[in-house]
Amino acid sequence: MRFRSLRALTLAFLLAFLLATIGTGFAIHGITLQTIERLVDRRILVVNDAIAGAPGDRRPADVFRRIDAAMRERDTGDIGLLLVDANGRRLGGNIALSRRLPLGFSTIARDDRIAGLSAGRALVRDVGGGMTLTTVAETEPFDDYNAARTRIYLIGFGSIVLIVVGGMVFFVVTIGRRIGETRRTVEAIIDGDMTRRVPIHPSGGEFAHQAMAFNRMLDRIAELMASISNVSNDIAHDLRTPLARLRSQLALALRRAETEAQRDDLEAAIAMSDELLAMFAAMLRIAEIGGGDRRAAFAPFDLADLVREVGDMMQPVAADSGQQLDIAVDAPTRIIGDRQLLGQAMVNLIENAIRHTPAGTRIKIGVVSTDAATMLTVTDDGPGIPVDQRKLALRRFGRLDISRHEVGHGLGLALIDAIVRLHRGTLSLEDADPGLRVALSLPRNGANK
């Protein structure tokens, strides 16, 4: 059996412990009763042998005499004796039976209505001459002793079970709380809060040491990520100014160009400068969104209205490229998020579909809501993206072989992915058969709070 959770492991342990405890209690109870019965059987056998006498000494008068002597002896005062003839008539003894007992050993109880006896053992033996001798002894030192012994077992073993169950509940609650603290810290870091750390309890112990080790690991990861992020951000910041100056110089040179060839070369250089500036701006934008600071400005809005607004704006753009953009929105869909960023993501998705599909392609943007999430999709019936290249398309600067000759810097889907992650959602590339479906899964309202 595979235990996949702390609760399952705890329940399995408790079940095993309860079964072992109950089994031990029954075993002790049964062994105790068996031991008492063996001792009582041995005693009544000795008394029965003494009263029955040797095979040649079993005349009724002799048996009567030995019964009378046994009843007067102190150590047999709690022994019951009964001698009957072949017809079941009582010949002597100090007890009476309400039923005929079988030969050999048997168990008797309160239902046999023997005065002063609630549970015991009986030995029935044929002593010759048609006579039958019954010897009875109690297996309980006082009335209802077996019930009292059962209560003792229930109280004793029950208290053990309660203590262990209480300990396990305390263990599960304590472990669950510590695991919950770690999980909440991890979720906060996934959401972009790299300053979040696992609380360290002042009482110390293994959990505190584990939390300190975990926090040191997070500190180190944060330092490495910050250094990497700072390098890329510094490069983007530092290069934007000289690139902007270079573009200004190229624009000035373009105005002074004397030949058509010079103007063409300068316009191409300006276009490349604009592309580089756009790439650095996208890098800084991704870093800003990835930090999670914009989540504080989340507000409720109707995603369906935003889809219609963006779709109406982009339909002329698609028409100019010979493509058709359809809007598939049925009902209002309210979510909590950044309306501006999600609008930018939609525009980027539609522009990607227009740029990477041929004329005549049909593009559709729509919203589908379920109980768990709201799905924003942009679907086209173009050539699509091969399955083995979809991960590459989602990477920063990821350029597919078929798009390397086109204008772009490979940060479009990475920027969209950063926006979706800010909203605690997921981005996936799916097969539209034919074409490509880009799906943005956004949690329902409560998940964004």
Confidence of residue 135 (pLDDT cuts 50, 70, 90): very high
- Mean predicted confidence (pLDDT) in 355-368: 90
Which of 3-12, 52-61, 276-285, 390-399 is modeled with the greatest confidence?
Answer: 52-61
What confidence tens digit (pLDDT) does each residue in 201-231 have? 887 777 788 888 988 998 888 777 666 666 6
Q: How far apart are the first and last CA of the chain?
A: 38
Checking if the pLDDT of 332 tops 50, the result is: yes
CA distance 307 to 294: 21
Which whole-number Å values give the CA distances from 179 to 5, 97, 116, 173, 207, in the listed order? 12, 69, 63, 10, 10
Instruction: List the structure tokens of 21.
Output: 């405890």
The lowest-confidence range among 114-128, 135-149, 260-274, 312-326 is 135-149
The lowest-confidence range among 134-138, 168-172, 331-335, 347-351 is 168-172
Confidence of residue 291 (pLDDT cuts 50, 70, 90): low
Checking if the pLDDT of 153 tops 90, the result is: no
Confidence of residue 74 (pLDDT cuts 50, 70, 90): low
**What is the share, in percent, of the chain residues with pLDDT greater than 90?**
11
Which whole-number Å values give the CA distances from 378 to 234, 312, 328, 343, 422, in the listed order? 34, 14, 10, 13, 19
The residue among 393 and 264 whose pLDDT is bigger is 264
Residue range(s) in the chain whose domain bears CATH number 3.30.565.10: 296-448
Confidence of residue 283 (pLDDT cuts 50, 70, 90): low
Residue 161 pLDDT: 81
Residue 39 C-alpha from the chain's centroid: 55
DSSP string, 26-77: HHHHHHHHHHHHHHHHHHHHHHHHHHH--TTS--HHHHHHHHHHHHHSGGGT
Residue range(s) in the chain whose domain bears CATH number 3.30.450: 6-146
CA distance 144 to 149: 9
The CATH number of domain 6-146, selected from 3.40.50, 3.30.420, 3.30.70, 3.30.450: 3.30.450
Instruction: List the structure tokens of 18.
Output: 């309860």
Q: State which amino acid sits at residue 124.
A: V
Confidence of residue 139 (pLDDT cuts 50, 70, 90): confident
Residue 432 pLDDT: 84
- Mean predicted confidence (pLDDT) in 111-135: 85
Checking if the pLDDT of 172 tops 50, the result is: yes
Residue 449 pLDDT: 42
Checking if the pLDDT of 281 tops 80, the result is: no
- Mean predicted confidence (pLDDT) in 345-368: 89
Checking if the pLDDT of 405 tops 50, the result is: no
Confidence of residue 448 (pLDDT cuts 50, 70, 90): very low
Residue 378 pLDDT: 92
CATH class of the region 206-290: mainly alpha
DSSP state of 227: H
Any idea how long the chain is?
449
- Mean predicted confidence (pLDDT) in 167-189: 82
Checking if the pLDDT of 396 tops 60, the result is: no
Checking if the pLDDT of 402 tops 50, the result is: no
Q: Mean pLDDT in the chain?
A: 80
Residue 286 pLDDT: 63
Confidence of residue 42 (pLDDT cuts 50, 70, 90): very high
State the burial class of residue 349 (Cβ atoms within 10 Å of its Cβ: 0-12, 13-18, 19+). Answer: buried
Residue 446 pLDDT: 42
Find out whether the peptide bond into 60 is cis, omega within 30 degrees of 0. no
Residue range(s) in the chain whose domain bears CATH number 1.10.287: 206-290
Checking if the pLDDT of 344 tops 80, the result is: yes
The residue among 322 and 58 whose pLDDT is bigger is 322
Q: Which of 3, 4, 7 is nearest to 176 (CA)?
A: 7
Q: What does CATH list as the number for 296-448? A: 3.30.565.10
